[in-house]
Amino acid sequence: MSNAWNQTRRMKRLAVSPIINPEYIEWWGRRINDNISGPTLEDG
């Protein structure tokens, strides 16, 4: 049980810390742009 709890804590820490990381923001922005520029349901 404590092992799973530690795992969840680690995941939360990883999810929160990159918000301060400019490289992560840049990567996330590129990922969103790729999704938008890709084929969308509206085109069909």
Q: How many domains does the chain have?
A: 1
20 domain residue, yes or no: yes
Query: In degrees to the nearest 10, what's the CA dihedral of 21, 27, 32, 33?
Result: 130
42 domain residue, yes or no: no
Query: Stretch 26-43: mean pLDDT, rounded?
Result: 73
Give the global pTM.
Answer: 0.31
Give the CA distances from residue 18 to residues 2, 24, 36, 43, 44, in Å, rounded to whole numbers and listed in that order: 25, 6, 22, 33, 35
For the chain, how long is the longest CA-to-CA vector?
A: 49
39 domain residue, yes or no: no
What is the percent of the chain where pLDDT is above 70?
45
Per the structure, the complete domain to which residue 9 belongs is given by: 3-34
